[in-house]
Amino acid sequence: MEQQDFSAKDSLQLIESMISKAQNRFNENGHLYLLWGWVILVCSITSFISVYFFSNYKNLMYVWMLTIPTVIYQMIYLARVKKSTAVQTYTDEINSKVWMVFVIMGFLVGIIIGRSGQPQLFNPLILALYGMPTFLSGVILKFVPLRIGAVSCWVLALVSVFIPYQFSFLLLAIAVITTWIVPGYLLRSRFKTQQG
């Protein structure tokens, strides 16, 4: 592969084939979508049962503490993935930044809602916010199920302000199924197909 006398047409063909080899890689295996999907599903259903059947609002925060070990696991997992990945595309980088923005926004919304004394607004706002990274990931990864999931999130966010607060936890559960769990399994099967 060292000869100098190749034509302009050969050069362009080589450039084109190499660019497509690098960019057609699909690094998303859906693991974190599934992890977060199931964690939030468990948290939201437990919250609904606690609030609806036992009128227990005080212990809600303990259920959501399940997200702390999940974050720790995610950090370890991402560090390992970064080490074992042979190539990092701009797509991977942008996608991870989109989710980082969501985490920051979610954190800020949590604090703002906490200070505002209107906790019932938390679920509708989180649902609305949830749709943003999901939709953008769907665009970046060229993956339609994520975009459909994002739209369902926005619809559920709108519905959640018209129903009693307790039921918004059920909407959150539906949202994680449509935005994370279903696309997560589809991403996993797409990744396995590519690997196989």
Partner 1 sequence: MFKDLDPILHSQLRLAVMSLLIGVKEAEFTFIKEKTGSTAGNLSVQISKLKDAGYVEVIKQFKDNYPQTICKITPAGINAFETYVKALQTYLPK
Of 14-22, 66-74, 129-137, 182-190, which segment contacts partner 1 by CB under 8 A? 14-22
Closer of 54 and 90 to partner 1 (Cβ)? 90
Phi, psi angles (nearest 5°) of residue 67 = -70, -20
Binding residues for partner 1, rule CB under 8 A, total 29
Asked whether the beta carbons of 172 and 152 are under 8 A apart, the reply is: no
Asked if residue 21 binds partner 1 (CB under 8 A), the reply is: yes
Supply 44's token pair. 């939201």
Asked whether the beta carbons of 92 and 140 are under 8 A apart, the reply is: no
Asked whether the beta carbons of 72 and 27 are under 8 A apart, the reply is: no
CA distance 131 to 134: 5
Closer of 3 and 193 to partner 1 (Cβ)? 3
Asked whether the beta carbons of 29 and 191 are under 8 A apart, the reply is: yes
Asked if residue 1 binds partner 1 (CB under 8 A), the reply is: yes
Asked whether the beta carbons of 190 and 26 are under 8 A apart, the reply is: yes
Q: Give the per-residue contact string, 62-101, with partner 1 (x = CB under 8 A; - = no).
A: ---------------------x-xxxxxx-xx--------
Of 2-10, 45-53, 130-138, 175-183, which segment contacts partner 1 by CB under 8 A? 2-10
Asked if residue 195 binds partner 1 (CB under 8 A), the reply is: no
Of 16-24, 144-152, 160-168, 179-187, which segment contacts partner 1 by CB under 8 A? 16-24
